[in-house]
Structure 1
Amino acid sequence: MSGKKCKHCGSSDIEVDPARGDAVCTNCGSVLEDNIIVAEIEFQENAHGGASTIGQFVSAESKGGATGFGRAFNVGIGQESREVTLRKAREGITALCQQLRLNQQCIDIACNFYKMALSRHLTIGRPSSHTQAACVYMTCRTEGTAHLLIDVSDAVPICCYQVGRTYFKLSRALCINIPPTGNG
């Protein structure tokens, strides 16, 4: 804090510690600032010879400060990646369910299946449209609607074998008890 003086004793001997995020007067010991956000990156050597950063991560969801600045102008800036992924998944699932004329309850169930798949990292490495379609088909099966796998794959459009593979992998990994399809 160059050029600043302590408001308690008037001393200009102020120590700023970016690791702790505070500024302390070395003369009287008063904490002049805390929770300082530093825009620079500093490294320190650990006991094993490796390097680590000094400081801590500040999430966009944290309270206080100007963390929400810019949201009014740039929607999505500062949001967590998971929030964006879930919002886009809900949009895709809603559009697919509307094409299939499924109700809001089915949309919510399919979105919950997607959340479960996302939390177990089952969405990594496969297109989100495949996962969304598989979640909608799981919903159709668990809710007993008259929709077939081909109906879901035609609405997307994705090859029914790809949707079927994704559906099978997700239903097994999530331990979803899928009722068998009826023949009459």
Structure 2
Amino acid sequence: MGDMMAKRPKEEFIKQCPECGSTHLIWDYERGELVCGDCGAVIEDSFIDQGPEWRAFDAEQDEKRARTGAPLTFLSHDKGLATEISWSNKDSYGKRIPHKNRAQIYRVRKWHQRIRVSNAAERNLSVALQELNNVSSKMGLPKDVRETAAIIYRKAVEKNLIRGRSIESIVAASIYAACRKVGMPRTLDEVAKASELNKKKIGRAYRHLTKELNLNLKPTTATSYITQFCSKLHLDKNVVNKAEEIVQQATERGITSGKGPTGVAAAAIYIAANMMNEPRTQKEIAEVAGVTEVTIRNRYKEISSALNVEIPK
């Protein structure tokens, strides 16, 4: 029986008890047995525990005791498969490296960094991914968005879409596309500010990527911008919910058709904030949303007229 269980790659193969047909099965890892919770029959014994033999009480301890390396990451040009030499002056036992050996260790680090990049293509990819990390950090984007942006950029490199365009513009366009792909859209103004590039240049690069890579990104909606705008304006959840409700009602009546989603979101937040007694000026909202005050006024008039909403004075 033990040999049979050792060959079994996954414990989930056994779905029910062969004696009573119950699906209430209990894996007893201390005894190495699979027991039926209803009739008590021992279905398997001496199975192999696939987990580690050590225990960890926090994430840091788990990382230190793990015998595997870091997971693959597209944010590094070599996908994180190369050896890393720490810049902390400590050895593998945690002891400080003597001063007389530090110059030698520094040379080892320096040459290690140089030989990690073997040709011009890898060097360009390394520079681009570093730029991607820098821009993403300025925008406060999570790791999943960065990984998605890195994948889009790598696809652009494979299809030779970088030729004739600056690395910075393609990186910024990849970040903009990644934000939309994972459902966390950012405005072109935000990306342009973080990357210090012209908005039109990023827009051209983005359209080029979507066309050549067939990204098929869905148009952004006003609702997707409300949470982040409210967060920057320090508005609570009640305002977010009210603004989303206003946008939904406006969409159902066809008011938002053909209108920019950021302008609609800004107007909805302006109305909701005033209704919930947390007023913000049109100027404050315009700066956060990256639209003009005129746009907010126009959208506000259309929405308030159609929904018969009055802002308390």
Interval of TM-score (by shorter of Structure 1 and Structure 2): 0.5 to 0.7
Which ranges of 4 or more aligned residues in structure 1 deviate by more than 4 Å? none
Is 2:163 the partner of 1:163? no
- Cα pair 1:140 1:146 within 8 Å, conserved: yes
Count, aligned residues: 114
Q: Counterpart in 2 of 1:172?
A: 211
TM-score w.r.t. the length of structure 1 is 0.58
Pair 1:146–1:169, CA change in 2 (3 A): closer
1:7 aligned residue = none
Quote the Cα distance in structure 2 between the aligned partners of 1:183 and 1:78: 43
2:188 alignment counterpart: 149
Q: For the Cα contact (< 8 Å) 1:76–1:84, is it kept in 2? A: no
Larger-Rg structure: 2
Deviations 1:134-183 (A, max 9, x none): 00000011111141111101111111111001000111100001110102
Rounded Cα–Cα distance in structure 2 between residues aligned with 1:178 and 1:164? 14
Write the distance in 2 (CA, Å) between the matches of 1:160 and 1:108: 23
User: Is 1:181 the counterpart of 2:220 in the alignment?
Assistant: yes
Quote the residue 1:95 is aligned against. Answer: 134
TM-score (norm 2): 0.35
Report the counterpart of residue 81 of structure 1 in structure 2.
120
AA in 1 matched with 2:140: R
1:118 aligns with 2:157: yes
1:75 is paired with a residue of what secondary structure? Answer: helix
The structure with the greater share of residues assigned to helix is 2
The answer to whether the 8 A contact 1:89-1:111 is kept is no
For structure 2, the residue ranges without an aligned partner over 5 or more in a row are: 1-109, 224-313
CA 1:143–1:84: 2 relative to 1, 3 Å: same
Residues 141 and 77 of structure 1: CA distance in aligned 2, closer, same or farther (over 3 Å): closer
Q: Is the 8 A contact 2:185 2:220 kept in 1?
A: no
Calculate the aligned-residue CA RMSD, in Å: 1.8
Q: Deviations over 1:19-47 (max 9, x none)?
A: xxxxxxxxxxxxxxxxxxxxxxxxxxxxx
Deviation at 1:72, TM superposition (A): 2.4
SS in 1 for 2:156: helix
Higher relative contact order (CA 8 A, sep 6+): 1
| Equivalent residue letter for 1:96 | V
Over the matched positions of the two proteins, sequence identity in percent amounts to 24
Cα shift at 1:78 = 6.6
Structure 1 counterpart SS, 2:114: coil
